[in-house]
Structure 1
Amino acid sequence: MASQSTPRLAILDPFTAWRTNMSRLPKCLVVSAFALWVASVGAQTTYPSRPIRLIVPAPAGGPSDTAARALTKGMSAGLGQEVFVENRPGGNAGIGAGAVLTAAPDGYTLLFALAANAGLPHLSKASPYRSLTEFSPIAAIGGNTQCLVVPPSVPAKTLQEFAGYAKASTKPLMRGSNNVAEDMVATEVTRALGFTLDRVSYKGAPQMLPDLLEGRIQAAVLPVGASLPHVQAGRLVMLGCSMAERIPALATVPTLAESGVAAAPLITAHFVLGPPRVPAEIIDRLAAAVREAAQTAEFKQVMDRLLIVGSARSPAQTQELIQQAEAQYMRFARETGASID
């Protein structure tokens, strides 16, 4: 009589069992799941183990770039690894954002998004993303107050005077712009006061300023940090700013509402974001580093000089602020039909 062998139980190590189960899924899902598993394991043990790049979708030298560099200095100290800025201007801040959207979700490529990045999908079909909510929210710090400025060659000291000058001009006046936040403020002004400006596109404020200072373009909406030194030196005239109320450093400059522009103040912020699907452990590590960096005296001094206000926000608060900013741009696009395409 033949002996019967006792069935042997197959004992698989966890990775082999995981791989066996994954073999039953479509290949694309397996690759994504494996990438997330590797990133998560790495986050628990070694992150960060190499330098981290923070992509700024604006040129070097502007207020957003200055704020980002101040932030990375504090983050580098807190993380024990260098965090460095890489400038990717152009495409109304979309080029830099697109580079981060497709980066690996490992925490080594981040985006220092502008308020304009929240509006881009709603004003341009060329946007590489449909919403900033596609990115992984890490933190938010204060944003740029946007102000309409003109060179002294323009005979206007108020928005009302500028509107009258534009209406009487025999040829269209030109306005410099490098992102949709500036376009939104300018459109609200021209729509409320009943005049038009021809838009001239630039990569950033540093590229725009020479033409503005020399009067080759007649107006621009610029972050207060970029325009204030020239206003103080008498090379530009500040006509109005998109803010809820006057601030001490701009005590003589009216808000847009005081000048007859009833639109709500522009929601502004700089958002620190990662690519989609960054593991929670990495998000928490980075959020803590931003929070600590934003509390340093050196960072606060830079923000004070740029007139940027607002403390660092948590990932959840950042996501909520993104949604609020996008809702503002959606309303603007729906009500005005504005587009930059």
Structure 2
Amino acid sequence: MTAPPRSVCLQVLPNLFPAGRPGRDVSLSHMTIKAILRTAFLALGFAAASIAAVHAQESGTIRIIAPVPPGGSLDMTARLLAEHLSAAWKQNVIVDNRPGGGTMVGARATAQSKPDGLTVLLSTSAMASYSAFSKNSGLDLHRDWTFISTVSRVPLFIAVAADAKIDSVGDLARYAKSRVGQLNYATYGATTRVMSELLNRSLGIKAEPILYTGSAQSIQALIRGDITYMLEAMSTLSPLVAANKVKILATTEQVRVAGFPQVPTLAEQGYTVSDLGVWYGLFAPAGLSPAVTERFNKEIVNFSRSARANAVLEPLGAVLTSSTPEELRDLAFRDERLFLNAVKTLGIEPQ
């Protein structure tokens, strides 16, 4: 069994007995002794509960819920993380794909699970959007989650079909203006929806969103010509670029992405778009033991340094990260405010 974190075990009985001056006895009243013992028992009880929670989590199969279909960037990251945790902890770790509802189906399944450390959710910054986009999501960012760590930063790229007569963002704007009412784009989550609408506003165009369950379906729609453009991670786009099925117009990042220096930014082409940022984070149901949270968090730090994971994901544009639980919480709360403001500014009606 893995030893509980030092923060649980150390200082269980700190400063319980006051030190007297040299040559003087220290006498304690009956009530003082009772208070000291009560504190000691509470501290020991907390340590025992933490040890038990870690032990229980070590003895079962861990399920990472990915709220998207197999095949996209998030799914790939979840599978690499499962592989890493399984090797590090000598435990069975599986990925459970629960697509639908703009990632809300998988989020609900996780939030309704026991907070025992055997079910966690690897999701995107769309987690921060539910209050802005859904009237009846049944999920509360401030109530339902234990925040564990950020996992990755994922740049977005603007893609069109390879045979489209569009070779730049300016071409896309001109194409849209010559076909008013005919332009559409793919979305499978709140982040791509808001970023696409902000892009449309920057370009001075209008386009209709078409909702898909994940990036794999969106890409096929783009190749078939069912949609005009989409925002997507390079992990999904890269093999299709190599196969001459799609082409990349720009990245929404403020600077060029290191793995794809040939792709210009929107700013270089004379356009700007607010940077909501796309990140992946690891969450658990509310009430997860701090000891189990710390166990996960420490391993996410190791995962971010994994040579294998970085070798797979960096060429696809993803940047592995880690954070404290508090940093992930603050990031999610910040983006929730940004989504609420963006939805109000853009006039998007919650569904």
Q: TM-score range by the shorter chain?
A: 0.7 to 0.9
Secondary structure, counterpart of 2:63 in structure 1: strand
In the alignment, structure 1 residue 205 sits paired with structure 2 residue 215: yes
The AA in structure 1 aligned to 2:342 is: F
CA drift at 1:329: 1.5
Q: Is the 8 A contact 1:141 1:311 kept in 2?
A: yes
Alignment counterpart, residue 304 of structure 1, candidates 293, 309, 314: 314
The AA in structure 2 aligned to 1:86 is: D
**How big is each residue's C-alpha offset from its partner over 1:164-187, in whole Å with a ceiling of 9 and x where there is no partner?**
111111651221211111111110
Alignment counterpart, residue 68 of structure 2, candidates 58, 83, 91: 58
Alignment of 1:5-24 (within 5 A): none
CA drift at 1:63: 0.9
**How big is each residue's C-alpha offset from its partner over 1:19-69, in whole Å with a ceiling of 9 and x where there is no partner?**
xxxxxxxxxxxxxxxxx9997563154431111101000111111100111
TM-score by length of 2: 0.81
Q: Is the 8 A contact 1:79 1:289 kept in 2?
A: no
CA drift at 1:191: 0.9
Secondary structure, counterpart of 2:58 in structure 1: coil
The match for 1:337 is 347
CA drift at 1:253: 2.0
Moved more, 99-108 or 299-308: 299-308
CA drift at 1:243: 0.6
Task: Give the alignment's Cα RMSD to 1 decimal.
Answer: 2.2
Structure 1 residues 44 and 309: CA distance shift in structure 2, 3 A: closer
In the alignment, structure 1 residue 122 sits paired with structure 2 residue 135: no
In the alignment, structure 1 residue 151 sits paired with structure 2 residue 161: yes
Structure 1 residues 37 and 201: CA distance shift in structure 2, 3 A: farther
Percent identity between the aligned chains?
25
Separation in structure 2 between the aligned mates of residue 80 and residue 179 of structure 1, nearest angstrom: 34
Gaps of 5+ in 1: 1-35
Paired residues, what number? 306
Separation in structure 1 between the aligned mates of residue 56 and residue 143 of structure 2, nearest angstrom: 27
Alignment counterpart, residue 224 of structure 1, candidates 220, 234, 251: 234
Q: Is the 8 A contact 1:133 1:319 kept in 2?
A: no
Alignment counterpart, residue 47 of structure 1, candidates 51, 54, 57: 57
Structure 1 residues 170 and 334: CA distance shift in structure 2, 3 A: closer
Separation in structure 2 between the aligned mates of residue 112 and residue 221 of structure 1, nearest angstrom: 20
The match for 1:135 is 145
Gaps of 5+ in 2: 1-45
**How big is each residue's C-alpha offset from its partner over 1:273-320, in whole Å with a ceiling of 9 and x where there is no partner?**
100111111111111122223322111112213211142212122212
**How big is each residue's C-alpha offset from its partner over 1:56-94, in whole Å with a ceiling of 9 and x where there is no partner?**
001111111001110111111222211211000110011
The match for 1:75 is 85
Separation in structure 2 between the aligned mates of residue 234 and residue 168 of structure 1, nearest angstrom: 26
Separation in structure 2 between the aligned mates of residue 39 and residue 85 of structure 1, nearest angstrom: 28
Separation in structure 2 between the aligned mates of residue 232 and residue 190 of structure 1, nearest angstrom: 27
In the alignment, structure 1 residue 167 sits paired with structure 2 residue 171: no
Structure 1 residues 330 and 170: CA distance shift in structure 2, 3 A: closer
